[in-house]
């Protein structure tokens, strides 16, 4: 039932749709720039879910292996190319570019049909006790299977 909400992975790309609501916009009914970060966070979360990663099981496994762990955004480069407005339907695209032991770099886009609105390169790290830890093997292998080459 959640498949429609979670989007889909096709040809190594996760794609999901979000509608722009009034709460996402500023007084001019243009999407406030920080809300694109929220849309992309949802894309990353749903991408992991559709990789077959049961988030609750992953969290429990990670707690056992690395108490006090967290996934953190280590860095992000973002370009805002065009605005989105109230009632737009956006496609949020996520794909892994580089998978390393303790981090993964994802490329993300927000599109309105054929219009590219926002692009981002996001490096996410897995940490425990304030230090980088290896990403759990099952998750790392799943992401490597969808990785694109630069």
Could you list the active site residues? Answer: 26
State the SS3 of the chain: CCHHHHCEEECCEEEEEEECCHHHECCCCEECHHHHHHHHHHHHHHHHHHCCCCHHHHHHHHHHHCCCEEEEEEEEEEEECCCCECCCEEEEEEEEEEECCCEEEEEEEEEECCEEEEEEEEEEEEEECCEECCCCHHHHHHHHCCCCCC
- In angstroms, the first-to-last Cα distance of the chain is 35
C-alpha 30/C-alpha 24 separation (Å) is 8
């Amino acid at each position: 039932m959640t498949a429609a909400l979670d989007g889909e992975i096709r040809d190594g790309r996760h794609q999901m749709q979000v509608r722009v609501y009034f709460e996402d916009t500023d007084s001019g009914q243009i999407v406030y720039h920080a809300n694109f970060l929220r849309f992309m966070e949802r894309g990353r979360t749903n991408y992991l879910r559709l990789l077959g990663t049961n988030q609750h099981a992953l969290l429990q496994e990670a707690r056992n292996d690395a108490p006090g762990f967290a996934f953190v955004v280590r860095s992000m480069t973002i370009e805002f190319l065009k605005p989105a407005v109230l009632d737009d339907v956006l496609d949020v695209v996520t794909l892994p570019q580089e998978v390393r032991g303790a981090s993964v770099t994802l490329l993300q886009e927000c599109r309105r049909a054929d219009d590219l609105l926002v692009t981002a390169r996001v490096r996410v790290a897995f940490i425990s006790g304030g230090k980088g830890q290896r990403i759990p093997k099952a998750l790392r292998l799943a992401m490597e299977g969808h990785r694109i080459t630069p």
